[in-house]
Amino acid sequence: MIQAAYLHIPFCTHICHYCDFNKVFLKGQPVAEYLQAMEQEMKRTVAQFPAERVQTIFIGGGTPTALDIRQLDFLLENIHRYLPCTVDKVEFTVEANPNELSREKLQCLKDAGVNRLSIGVQTFNDTLLRRIGRTHQTRDVWQAVETAKAVGFTNISIDLIYGLPGQTLEQLQKDLAVAFSLDVPHISAYSLIIEPKTVFYNLMRKGKLSLPSQDEEAEMYEETMKQMQQHGYVQYELSNYARSGFESQHNLTYWNNEYYYGIGAGAHSYMNGIRNVNIGPVKKYIELIEKGQLPYVERHEVNERERMEEEMFLGLRKIEGVSKQRFYEKFHRSLNDVFGDVIAKEKANGLLEETETHVRLTHRGKLLGNVVFEAFLHVS
């Protein structure tokens, strides 16, 4: 059963130095035609892959809030027209830049049933913000959160990044202190990953990017986990922390390895056992839709072995780990029957632990998660 829908807005007013998502500069782009193409993709996708009711909707990017109010209205109206959801029961998230959240846009989102905001903060250090290519300043975050609360948003998440070029542990501690003072119920904190085809990747190849060492980055992660716990935020996934009841249900769809729609240029979907990747370039996406097609450039039917592997490396991102009962219900085989040798090895390495109901990462395993995830791939 399809649980969620992701919609991709690839337009940005500025490209951040670390971003490798499918995105283009907003200026000169066929935004209206793109939104019309998204409408047709929604219509055709739901007709071909019906769902009784999606539990979560997430509009990401790019930068969804780069759209003007008229464009946002058009998109939001079509979401309600084509996606099967109950307004008062769906978790409806929109990603936002702090300096693009006017009161008018916030009211537009609220009136259309959006009930969760994910605000890209990254850091509260204005020097670091400029260094990573962000266009907002710390004061914009305060203004955005204050206005969002005034409009009626209670479910607000902010994103932080640590391990930034030249960042120190002390600067991270200051970032966390400011984050806690905002009094929002959800905080994501990710380590910086240098991806190909980004400004930072090119700088790194030229030896012009000064990053914290692996030990310093690990210390930042340890500090983040400690501070979150002290301030009442429960770590429910490797990089995500929430007050009780404010966990991201949309992201849990991914980590629980459930089905979801993916609409828009470069979007991914997982429906009826098939993983699809949409074509990335905006104009090529529009062309395929105008030809009456769905915009898939990659389709992969996931076999049972791959599904079991995915269940492990996605599920182990959750702090509770992988449920033995859920694994059995999905695959009609016990977790230890399939992966017993790998689990035993990683337990001996101190990276996994086992309870009566779950297999999960240890504290040390959280620091070396990718090592554990890789251990479950291509196991004979």
pLDDT in tens, 75-107: 999 999 999 998 789 999 999 999 999 999 999
Number of H helices and E strands in the chain, helices first, is: 15, 17
Same domain, 36 and 107: yes
Q: How many domains are contained in the chain?
A: 2
Residue 288 placed within a domain:
no
Q: For strand 240-242 and strand 274-278, is the pairing parallel, antiparallel, or unpaired? A: unpaired
Specify whether 234 is located in the same domain as 344. no
Residue 262: inside a domain = no
Q: Identify whether 338 is part of a domain.
A: yes
Average pLDDT, the chain: 95
pLDDT at 380: 58
Closest by CA position to 311, among listed 356, 358, 261, 354: 358
| pLDDT mean over 57-79 | 96
Tokens of 110: 């609220």
162-186: average pLDDT = 97
CA distance 311 to 210: 36
Where among 226, 254, 282 does a domain terminate?
Answer: 254
**Strand-by-strand arrangement of the 155-162 sheet:** 234-237, 240-242, 186-191, 155-162, 116-122, 91-96, 56-61, 2-9, 259-263, 268-271, 274-278, 296-301
For residue 380, the SS3 value is coil
Domain identity same for 233 and 326: no
Residue 188 lies in a domain: yes
**Which of 254, 274, 292 is a domain's end point?**
254
**52 belongs to a structural domain:** yes
Walk across the sheet containing 322-323 and list its strands. Answer: 322-323, 358-361, 352-354
Per-residue pLDDT, averaged over 163-169, amounts to: 96
Listed in sequence order, the residues at least 6 apart from 377 whose beta carbon sits closer than 8 Å to its beta carbon are 309, 313
| The last residue of a domain, from among 254, 270, 295 | 254
- Regarding whether 152 and 13 lie in a shared domain, the answer is yes
The CA distance from 276 to 379, in Å, is 24
- Together in a domain, 182 and 329: no
The reply to whether 219 falls in a domain is yes
379 has a pLDDT exceeding 80: no
Q: Residue 66 sits in which domain range?
A: 2-254
